[in-house]
Amino acid sequence: MLDSIDYLCMNCFRCIQNCPKELIHKSVNPEYKEMGDYHWSADIISRQWYQAETGKIPVSGAGYPGPFCGPGFDSMWTDMSEIVRPTRDGIHGREYISTMVDLGRTPQYLTFGESTEIGQSRPQVISVPVPILIRVPEFGDLSDLTFEGWARAASMLGTLFALPSDCITMSMLGDSQSLVPILSLGGGDQDWIPEGVRMVEIEVGEEDDAEEILNFADKKVPGALVSARIPMDKGMEDRTLNLVKAGVPIVHLQGTWDGRWQDDESRFLKDGIRSVHLALVEDGLRDSITLLASGGIAMAEHVAKSIICGADAVYLDFPILIALECRMCRRCLKNLPCPVEIGLAERQWVAKRVRNLVGAFHNQLLEVMGAMGMRDARRLRGEAGRAMFFEELDQSTFGQLGTVEEGVELE
Ligand code: SF4
Any atom of ligand 1 within 6 Å of the Cβ of 339? yes
CA of 48 from ligand 1 middle (Å) equals: 15
CA distance 306 to 372: 15
pLDDT of residue 330: 96
Ligand 1 pocket test: pick from 333, 338, 344, 353 the residue with the most ligand atoms within 8 Å of its Cβ: 338
CA of 337 from ligand 1 middle (Å) equals: 8
CA of 351 from ligand 1 middle (Å) equals: 18
Any atom of ligand 1 within 6 Å of the Cβ of 179? no
Any atom of ligand 1 within 6 Å of the Cβ of 35? no
pLDDT of residue 209: 85
Any atom of ligand 1 within 6 Å of the Cβ of 141? yes
CA atoms within 13 A on the CB side of 7: 1
Q: Give every residue of the chain whose pLDDT is below 70, as ranges.
A: 1-2, 61, 85-94, 119-123, 188-190, 410-411
Q: Is the pTM of this model over 0.85?
A: yes
Any atom of ligand 1 within 6 Å of the Cβ of 328? yes
pLDDT of residue 363: 94
CA distance 72 to 76: 8
CATH number of 101-393: 3.20.20.70
pLDDT of residue 75: 93
pLDDT of residue 11: 82
Q: Which atom of ligand 1 is nearest to the CA of 331?
A: 3
Any atom of ligand 1 within 6 Å of the Cβ of 249? no
CA of 324 from ligand 1 middle (Å) equals: 10
Name the closest-CA residue to atom 4, ligand 1.
338
pLDDT of residue 405: 79
Residues whose CB is less than 8 angstroms from the CB of residue 163 and which lie 6 or more positions away in sequence, other chains included: 135, 136, 147, 150, 151, 179, 180, 181, 182
**Contact yes or no for 103/290 (Cβ under 8 A):** yes
pLDDT of residue 26: 84
Q: Which atom of ligand 1 is nearest to the CA of 341?
A: 4
Ligand 1 pocket test: pick from 143, 340, 341, 344 the residue with the most ligand atoms within 8 Å of its Cβ: 340
**Contact yes or no for 125/103 (Cβ under 8 A):** yes
**Contact yes or no for 223/197 (Cβ under 8 A):** no
